[in-house]
Amino acid sequence: MNDLRHHFRTPLMRSPFHPRVEAANVLNAWAPWAGVTTALNFGDVAMEHSSIRNSASLYDISPMIKYAIEGPGAAAYLDRLTLRRASALPVGAVQYTSWCNDAGHVLDDGTLFRLGEDRFRLCCQERHLPWLQDSAIGFDVSIRDETEAIAGLSLQGPTSFSVLSAAGGADLASLKPFRLAEMHLGPAGPVMVSRTGFTGDLGYEIWTTPDRALDLWDHLMAAGTPHRLRPVGTEALNIARIEAGFIIANMDFICAEQVLRPDRARQPDEIGLGWMVDLDKGAFNGRNAIRAAREGGMLHWALVGLDIEGNVPAEGAELYLDGKKAVGQVTAAVWSPTTKRNLALAQIRRPWHRDAGDRLRAEIYALRELQYHKLMLRARIARRPFFNPPRRRATPPGMF
């Protein structure tokens, strides 16, 4: 494995948690994520999703792309790079952010961790090293990929605070959402814990080094068993993230650098990220284009949540106005066990994101025993997040 010429033998890397994930992956349900082999499920998607909303879940987030952004100019650089004011982020805090090219088209979204005055970490779905380095010209900052140097587990669900407390997490009760802390978790050693996640629920992300990854997994599973902790795969997480109304790059929008058909690129306002845009902070990539599009009425799309009639998920459905005019496309859809609603995220042409009333229909082809049932189901635009429990923000968190 040390011979780097042999990648053709193992196109997919293994996560530092792979030995544990493999043992629990009873159906051999694997899928690649960012070049790493990851579990789609651990045998029962419904039970796994239920654990995210009822008890606690463990999900391997090691494959997430991570960049270290360090140097005296790091904050100024990030102010210039991203839509939000990174320099306003306190040390020990986390920011959900996004960044654009000069045309104001979104390159990706991600979470930005401020680890020190001059030390940041950017976590995202896609790879951006050239863009990040080229944007650094003129700033006293270094950018390096640290994806494989950091292992991460996402611990999410109503008993996640109980689990992490049982694992030895100190001062956890006062840790607020989007804040991070260093902790020592017994045999798992020192870790960084952030109160972040992709489920819209109470939860934490726990970061360590690959050499201590298995100790962390074992320690959390042992501490979590009385609190009904179970590992979950990407399928269960995907249900939870739709319930939370979260978007994923290249699933709900196409990253501008990968867009082949130019009309597929989207500005932040067109994928529901307009709230991030801080026009008052000074120059940043895409600022002029975003402002021009806003002022010139040049925004064509919007990303909305949908509450669709019936119980057949609307994956891939086209949206019609009055049953005739195609006005959009569902990008993610699921029957939501938590809200008992048929939910979807969709890109929709303006102004129908606001003015469609009861006129939208989702065209669903449900394949049943080799025949399609074509359904035209009423779709109502619904506020995201679809599910937003108070425990998500409660500080100190409850035990369940």
Partner 1 sequence: MKDTAAPSTPRSSNCIWDAVIVGAGHNGLVTANYLARSGLDVLVVEKNDWIGGAAVSRELYPGFTYSNCSYVCSLFRPEIMRDLDLPAHGLQVLPYEGGAVFQRDGGYLATYRDHEANRREIARHSPRDAENYDRYARDLMRHCRFIRPLLMRTPPDPASFKPRDLSEMAYLARQFLALGADEAADMVRFWTMSISDYLDEYFENDTLKAYMTVAAITGTALGPMSPGTAYVLLHHYMGDVDGNIGAWGYARGGMGAVSQALAASFRGAGGTLRENAPVARILVRSGRAEGVVLEDGEEILARRVISNMDVKRTFLNCMDPTDLPEAFLGRVRSFKSRGSSGKLNIALDGAPEFPALPDGSPCLRGDLHFTDSVERAERAYDDWKAGRWSADPFQDTMIPSMIDPTMAPPGKHFMSCFVQYCPPKLRNGADGERDWTDNDRDAFGKAVIDQIEDYAPGFKQRILHVEVRTPRELEAEVGLTDGNIFQGELTFDQLLFNRPVPGYAQYRGPVPDLWMCGSSTHPGGGVMGAPGRNAAAEILRSMRGGVGNRAEMRDAYPVL
Positions touching partner 1 (CB under 8 A) are: 27, 43-44, 46-47, 50, 53-55, 158-159, 162, 226-228, 309-312, 335, 337-341, 366, 368, 373, 387, 399-400
Residue 175 or 343: the one with the smaller Cβ distance to partner 1 is 343
Q: How far is the CB of 54 from partner 1 (least distance, A)?
A: 5
Residue 125 or 162: the one with the smaller Cβ distance to partner 1 is 162
Q: How far is the CB of 343 from partner 1 (least distance, A)?
A: 12
Residue 121 or 228: the one with the smaller Cβ distance to partner 1 is 228
Residue 116 or 357: the one with the smaller Cβ distance to partner 1 is 357
Q: How far is the CB of 90 from partner 1 (least distance, A)?
A: 33
Q: How far is the CB of 130 from partner 1 (least distance, A)?
A: 44
Query: What's the CA gap between 364 and 315, in Å, rounded?
Result: 8
Residue 29 or 31: the one with the smaller Cβ distance to partner 1 is 29
172: left (phi over 0), alpha (psi -120 to 50) or beta: alpha
Q: How far is the CB of 353 from partner 1 (least distance, A)?
A: 23
Residue 210 or 389: the one with the smaller Cβ distance to partner 1 is 389
Q: How far is the CB of 399 from partner 1 (least distance, A)?
A: 8
Q: How far is the CB of 275 from partner 1 (least distance, A)?
A: 24
Residue 9 or 368: the one with the smaller Cβ distance to partner 1 is 368
Q: How far is the CB of 117 from partner 1 (least distance, A)?
A: 40
Residue 127 or 378: the one with the smaller Cβ distance to partner 1 is 378
Minimal CA–CA distance to 40: which of 248, 234, 199?
A: 234
